[in-house]
Structure 1
Amino acid sequence: MRTLVALAALVLALSGCTSSPTKPVSDTPSPSASTTPTETTPPPDPGPTPKVGECHLLSFGQAVNVVGRTEPVKCKRKHTAETYFVGRLKLATKAGHVRRVDSQAAQKQARTTCAARLPKHLGRTPRELRLTLARSVYFTPPPQRAEAGADWFRCDVVVVAGPRRLLTLPRATKGFGAAPAVAMCATAAPGTTAFKRVGCAAKHAWRAVSTVDLPGKRLPSKGAVADLMDGPCGDAARESAADPLDFTWSQESPTQEQWDAGQRYGICWVPA
């Protein structure tokens, strides 16, 4: 979490008068006292607000480590992210306090709003989006901009093209969710050392065909997950096979890290 420093108080330069020794009275008028004009400090600059439709050339690291506002690039040039929603953070509390932009409540608002709006932007249902490599990432103002009054959050869509690599996106991503480059495939069967997720437009050996919801607040044991997924994955594999009597499949359970991040489902895979 980023730590925001409190807004420093503005200091005004004040001028004072000094007394001078008594002088004999003369006919020459004495100069009148003058004061130095007060110096004012310009208000802090909150910076520009992001706009829907802006494109960005993000690295994988920038996408997963959300830090401030990145500069947009022209969408006709190479880019890896597009802004599909811009909102305002609810920083005022019912008790009359003001939240920091890096507070848990503010970050949760940005994260959940961006995730909820991504399926409609890409033209897929939330369940269909599970079988893609498209992800929503969000950005909030950097500390110095937040101190100046910036309260926006920005939702970007990115597509993971491979290990620590983002896909170069088309000029516009609205309705892009059904493209082969977005669909989730793999270089080998899940659980093997050669397993790597790639877009289905790249060379691949397996593809994701279905997901199975997993109940409970804690990640079930591997055996329990296998039992829950066996039937649904078998059915999905049968429907995808050219011969309903000759088919195979593999199933992938979420890791503890994925479970903690909100992935409460397993993925069914079939040979491509």
Structure 2
Amino acid sequence: MTRLRARAATVVAALILTGCSASPSEPADPSASPSPSVTETPSEAVPPDPGPTPRVGECHALTFRQAVAVVGRTEAVACRRKHTAQTYFVGRLRLETPAGSTRRVDSDAAQRQARTTCQSRLPRHLGITPRELRLTMAQAVWFTPSATRAEAGADWFRCDVVAVAGPRALLPQPRRTKGWGDAPVLAMCATAAPGSQAFRRVSCGAQHAWAAVATVDIPGRRLPPQAAVADRMEAPCGDVARARADDPLDFTWTQEIPTGEQWDAGQRYGICWVPA
């Protein structure tokens, strides 16, 4: 038996998608474009436009940068065309406070509502459990209206599913992503052992050398010392690796302990890896 201990040096993009907060994805507001100055009387004033409300099932051709940082705006595309995101839930933001004031769409409370709702609904959409989702490259991203649209009455938030293919790349998706969670292409693999310089997290549909096979919960409000986490993960990871090996006396495995940044983003578990 060979055991390797690894601690990721940085947060991998595939694991921080769930921690991003999103901004508008609707077309730019025409009122933002320069135009000649016009003096209007109240009767001639054009009411503000809240814009269209997203719909469940819409597809989007997001780039990796748009999915992570939500830079730029995209229109929905036909799902028969190549796309990298699909909307699986649309909800309403709770913008009215108990005191009667109105929250901004980019407030912590509004973004927390969108984030927690989208993350909790993704496993159900994909047809897998939350624990199984940990071992996939699928992630939830969320979008809210612009401040201008919100002032005009838009109060929606949109949940999209994306899947990371590898560094700075998203997987193309089928027409329907409902029940897609057990697709082999979504499984999490790596180009090298976690902790090594060549380690890159990739879809198992790409060339890979290691596969993620199990996760181990880490209790507590703060990330324990690395040695304590490694000790906690040793038996579960070893058992999984032994069960998958051809020879129960000769097998290799490694454990990936979350970084402090990953822990703060909500990853309260370590990952067990075996050679592919």
Regarding TM over 0.5, the answer is: yes
Contact 1:137 1:156 in 2 (8 A): yes
Q: How does 1:165-184 map to 2 (within 5 A)?
A: 165-184=169-188
Partner residue, 1:35 = none
Matched, 1:103 2:112: no
Match for residue 89 of structure 2 among 85, 89, 102: 85
Deviations for 1:175-201, whole angstroms, at most 9, x for unmatched residues?
Answer: 111111100001111100111111111
Distance 2:152 2:243 in 1: 57
Q: Is the 8 A contact 2:105 2:150 kept in 1?
A: yes
AA matched with 2:88: Y
Determine if contact 1:92/1:99 at 8 Å carries over to the other structure.
yes
1:66 & 1:142 partners in 2: Cα distance?
12
Structure with bigger helix share is: 2
Shift of 1:69: 5.7
CA contact (8 A) 1:66 1:138 kept: no
- Aligned-partner Cα distance in 2 for 1:176–1:131: 14
Task: Give the CA deviation at 1:39.
Answer: 3.5
- Work out which of the residue numbers 184, 201, 205 in structure 1 matches 2:205: 201
Of stretches 211-220 and 132-141 in structure 1, the one that deviates more from structure 2 is 211-220
Structure 2 gap segments, 5+ residues each: 1-20, 24-38
Q: Which residue of 1 aligns with 2:230?
A: 226
Aligned to 1:151: 155
Shift in alpha-carbon separation, 1:245–1:2, aligned structure 2, 3 A: closer
Aligned to 1:267: 271
TM-score normalised by structure 2 residue count: 0.84
Name the CA distance, whole Å, in 2 between partners of 1:97 and 1:39: 29
Aligned mates of 1:67, 1:40 — CA distance in 2: 34
Larger Rg over CA atoms: 1
Query: CA separation of 1:141/1:217 partners in 2, compared to 1, >3 Å: closer, same or farther?
Result: same
* Larger RCO of the pair (alpha carbons < 8 Å, separation 6+): 2
In structure 1, the gaps of 5 or more residues are 4-10, 14-37
Please identify runs of 4+ aligned residues in structure 1 that moved more than 3 A: 66-69
Q: Which AA in structure 2 matches 1:76?
A: R
* Secondary structure of the structure 1 residue equivalent to 2:76: coil
Q: What is the one-letter code of the residue matched to 2:232?
A: L
Distance (Å, rounded) in 2 between the aligned partners of 1:194 and 1:2: 31
Deviation of the 1:84 alpha carbon: 0.4
RMSD: 1.8
Matched, 1:124 2:128: yes
Number of residue pairs aligned between Structure 1 and Structure 2: 241
Q: What's the CA shift string for 1:87-144, capped at 9, x where partnerless? A: 0001111111111101101000000000000001111100000000000000000121
Identity of aligned residues (%): 71
Q: Deviations over 1:14-47 (max 9, x none)?
A: xxxxxxxxxxxxxxxxxxxxxxxx6431210000
Q: Quick check: 1:135 aligned with 2:139?
A: yes
C-alpha distance in structure 2 between counterparts of 1:2 and 1:123, whole Å:
24
TM-score (norm 1): 0.85
Contact 1:69-1:140 within 8 A present in 2 as well: no
Indicate how the Cα distance of structure 1 residues 135 and 81 shifts in structure 2: closer, same or farther if over 3 A, else same: same
